[in-house]
Each structure stands twice: as structure tokens, then as C-alpha cells.
Structure 1
Amino acid sequence: MAGIAHLSDIHFGAHDPKIVAATEAWLQARQPDLVIVSGDFTQRARLGQFRAASAYINRLRAAGHRLLVVPGNHDVPLYDVVRRFAAPLRRYKRFISSDLCPWFENDEIAVLGINTARSLTIKDGRINHEQIALMKRRFAAVSPTKTRILVTHHPLFAMPIGKGGELSEAVGRHEEAVQGACEAGVHLALAGHFHRTYAEAARKMAEKAGSALIIQAGTATSTRLRNAEPQSFNWLQVRRNDRCALQVVAWNGTSFQDGDRVAFEFDGRQWNAHKGAGA
């Protein structure tokens, strides 16, 4: 069984240092096989913010954690127009990672990260044809017994973002991206962006959505909360390619506390949830 900690939207520059330290303590105690950070390392892509985010990432690596990271739209400068269009991810590459399509594979899982942050879209994301082709090519070489996991900052699907049932905009080239994920045999699609935790079978969200399980992470350390959700991240335990258990690890004001465990099982067509069951 593979243990994955999925953090997102850590937003250095609008972060709580006490909560940042608490994530490090939790990770050190749990020792996941992989730590995923799905974008928005900074609040406004400023130099000091990237330096603080880099120090955090370096501490995690020094503690022995394996990381897979992708940038978010907040890691592209908003107000520095020249840098935004001439070198939108230069600071991200310098301080966080030069690899915009990171890959991790062990005996149980294969994980691909794809950058969806763009200069022109401001807050929305986009996937291009080359990235879709890469997705299919990388996962095609993976053993069918392994769990294939795709990581983006922006979710592939329109997501519920409010109590009234309103939906977000889907990532650019949504239909092609979803088709590519289907052809690549993606089992889990992890993302962030909306500071909201969410998990659902793709087939229950849209027609022709394929068989992936869609999992969203909230903000791990930002003070900019939405929908009254506390800071949180996801703890995933993956067994084979048809079993996955999810716990939302939420900040209670003094520490991170494990939430209820929800097990998902793939029945050959879609993922089904079983609250409280094991993976």
C-alpha cells in the first residue's frame, strides 16, 4: 500500500507559520511514500515569497521526503507584466523545481504532474496538446497493476465551488484533456485551486468522463480561506488500482487532526465510496 500526502495552495506570503510547521511535524510522523504539492506555492510570485516556499520545500527534502510538485496560477506574476509574459515561471523553476512535468514511479504507483498555469488565463488553467500526448505516452509504459495518478493545479472538470451548487469553469481544452486521461487509463486525478476538499467519481460528474476518481485538496497553510473550510490536506492510501482510502487532515486551531476515513472501490466502471471502511 502506498501512502500519499496531497497538499495544495500553500500560498507563502499569505500563510500561517504555525500551520506550516504543523504540516512538517505531521509529515515527519507519518512518513508518506510521496508528498504531492499541487500548486500555488506563493501568494503573488514575489521573490521573498518564493524564497520562503523554497526553504519549506528544502526542509521537507532534507527530512527525507520524496516530493512531486507542480506550479499554480499564483506562481505566475500578476502585476509584473513584463515578467508575466516574458518569463512567467522563471522564479518557480529557480526556487521550486525546473521540471514542469515531474514523474514518480515505484512498485505500486505511477504519478505524472502537468503544469496548467498560463500567462494569459490569469486565474484559469489550460492543458496543451503536447501535455496530453505526454500523459498518454508516459502512462502507456506503466504496468496495468499500478495505480496511475495525474496531478494538476486546476481540476480537469467543472467543480462545485459554493453552497448554491454553482460550478467553476473547467480547465482549458477540458474535453481533450479528459479524453486523454481516459486513454491513458488514469485512476486518480488530484488537483487544488479552489481551497475546497472534494472527492467524486468522474463518471458521476460528466458524461464520457472516464473512470477516474477526482480528488481535490483544500489549502494546506493559507490564511485565505473559502467556504469556511479550515486549512487541510489529503492523506491517501492506495492499494492496487482499484482501492483507495481518503482522509482529510484538517487544522483544528492547534494541530492537524485526521478526519473520517472514506474508502473507494472501483467496480470495473466507476469508483464507489464506503465511509469508515479500510482500503
Structure 2
Amino acid sequence: MARIAHLSDIHFGAHDPKIVDAATAWLEDRRPDLVVISGDFTQRARVEQFHQAAVWLGRLRAAGLKILVIPGNHDVPLYDVVRRFAAPLDRYKRYISNDLCPFYEDREVAILGLNTARSLTIKDGRINHDQMDMLRQKFACVPPDKTRILVTHHPLFAMPIGNGNEWSEAVGRHDDAVKAACEAGVHLALAGHFHRTYAEAARKMVAHSGGALVIQAGTATSTRLRNNEPQSFNWLHVRRNNEMELQVIVWDGAAFRRASHVEYRHDGGAWAAREVVDPPTVGKMEPRRGLG
């Protein structure tokens, strides 16, 4: 079993230091096999913010934790227009990682991260055709019983936002990106960006999307909350043959605690979900989902 902590939208520069310390302590105590961070390390891509992020990542690595990271749109300068177009991810590469499309594989999982942050968009993301080819190629040699996981900052699909019927824009080149993910046999699609938790079968979101389960992470440590959803991150237990558990770990004002626990099983065509427990925690929050 692969134990994966999925964090997103750290936003150094608009973070709560107390929550950063609590998240760090949680990770050091649970010691996941891999920590996945799906972008937005900084609030405005400033040097001091990247330095804070680098110190934090250094602490995780010093604790012996393996890390897979990708940038988000906030890691591209917004107001420094020259840097935004001439060297949009130069600081990210210097302080965080020079690898914009990292790959990780162990006995249970194969994980590919793809950079969706672009200079020409303020907040939306895109995937280019070279990245789509990489997606197909990287997963082509992965044994069929391993779980294939794709990590992006921007989700491939339009997401429900707010409490009404408002939906976000899908990632750029959406149709081609979804087709590539389907052809690559992606089982799990992890992303962030919207500071909302969410889990849903891709086929319930868009036609011809294959058998992926879409899992969104909230913001782990930012003070920029959406719709009063507290800071949170995801804790995944992934097994071979496409079985997994998803727990949402939520900040309750004093500590991070489990707020939901759902088991998922893939029958070869679709994911089915079963809630494991009704945890006796304050402020229970489940990932928004429609699986049965």
C-alpha cells in the first residue's frame, strides 16, 4: 500500500504559520511514502516567499520524506511583467524544483506531475501537446495492476465552485488533455487551485473521459479561504489493482483532524465509493462527490 499525502495551495506570503507548523508536524508523525504538492507555493512569486517555501520543503526532506512537486499559477509573477514573460518559472526552478514534470514510481503506484501554469493566463491553466505525449509515454510501460496517478495544479475538468450552479473553466485544450489521460489509463487525477475539496468519477463530469477518479485538494495552509471551507489536505492509501482510501484532513482551529474517510474500488470501468466511518470530529467535511 502506498500512503500519499496530497497538499495544495500553500501560498507562502498569505499563509498561517501556526497551520504550516501543524501540517508539518502531522506529516512528520504519519510519515507518508510520498508527499504530493500540487502547486501555488507562493502568493505572488516573490523571492522571500519562495525562500520560505524552500525552507519548509527542506524541513520535510530533512525528516526523510519523499516529495513530488509542481508549480501553480501563483508561482508565476503577476505584477513583474518582464519576468512573467521572460522567465516565468525561474524562481520556482531556483528555489523549489528544476523538474516541471516529475515522475515517481514504486510497487503500487506510478505518478506523473504536469505543469499547467502559463504566462499568458492570469489564473487558468493549459496543457500542451508535448505534455500529452509525455503522459502517454510515461504510463505506457507501467504494469496494468499499478495505479496511475496524474497530478496537475489546474484540474482537467470544469469544477463546481460556490454553493450554486457555478462552474469553473476547464483547463486549456481540455478535450485533447482528457483524451490523452484516457489513453494513458489514468486512474486518479489530483489537482488543487480552487481551495475546495472534491471527489467525483470523471465519467460523471464529461463524456468519454475514461475511468479516472478526480480528487481535488483544498488549501493546506493559506488564509485565503473559499466559501468558509477550512484548510485541509488529502490522505490517500492506494493499493494495487485500483483500490484506495481517501481521508480529508481538516484544520479545526487547533489541530488537523480526519473529517471523512471513504473507500473506493475500481471494477475496471468505474469507481465505487463506500463511506467507512462517521468520525466524531467537529466541523465534519466530506469531499463533495456523487459516487454511490
Q: Same fold (TM over 0.5)?
A: yes
Q: Match of 1:76, as an amino acid?
A: V
Secondary structure in structure 1 of the residue aligned to 2:177: helix
Q: Is the 2:145–2:242 contact (alpha carbons within 8 Å) kept by the matching residues of 1?
A: no
1:193-240 CA-to-partner distances (Å, cap 9, x unmatched) read 000000001011111111000000000000000011000000000111
Q: Is the 1:191–1:217 contact (alpha carbons within 8 Å) kept by the matching residues of 2?
A: yes
Question: Are 2:151 and 1:175 aligned?
Answer: no
Shift of 1:9: 0.1
Shift of 1:90: 0.1
Shift of 1:141: 1.0
Percent identity between the aligned chains? Answer: 70
Corresponding position of 1:264: 264
1:154-205 CA-to-partner distances (Å, cap 9, x unmatched) read 0000000111021100000001000000000000000000000000010111
Structure 1 distance, partners of 2:61, 2:190, is: 21
Shift of 1:242: 2.0
Structure 1 distance, partners of 2:134, 2:200, is: 25
Matches within 5 A, 1:133-148: 133-148=133-148
Corresponding position of 2:205: 205
Q: Is the 2:146–2:242 contact (alpha carbons within 8 Å) kept by the matching residues of 1?
A: no
Structure 2 distance, partners of 1:200, 1:193, is: 16
Matches within 5 A, 1:31-110: 31-110=31-110
Shift of 1:272: 1.3
Matches within 5 A, 1:24-35: 24-35=24-35
TM-score by length of 1: 0.98
Q: Is the 1:114–1:131 contact (alpha carbons within 8 Å) kept by the matching residues of 2?
A: yes
Corresponding position of 1:237: 237
Structure 1 distance, partners of 2:61, 2:241, is: 28
Task: Provide the alpha-carbon RMSD of the alignment.
Answer: 0.7
Structure 1 distance, partners of 2:263, 2:161, is: 23
Structure 1 distance, partners of 2:240, 2:8, is: 25
Q: Is the 2:116–2:153 contact (alpha carbons within 8 Å) kept by the matching residues of 1?
A: yes
Corresponding position of 1:9: 9
Structure 1 distance, partners of 2:235, 2:165, is: 26
**Unpaired stretches in structure 1, ≥5 consecutive residues:** none
Secondary structure in structure 2 of the residue aligned to 1:156: coil
TM-score by length of 2: 0.94
Corresponding position of 1:125: 125
Shift of 1:144: 1.0
**Unpaired stretches in structure 2, ≥5 consecutive residues:** 278-292
Secondary structure in structure 2 of the residue aligned to 1:150: strand
Aligned length: 277
Q: Is the 1:148–1:241 contact (alpha carbons within 8 Å) kept by the matching residues of 2?
A: no
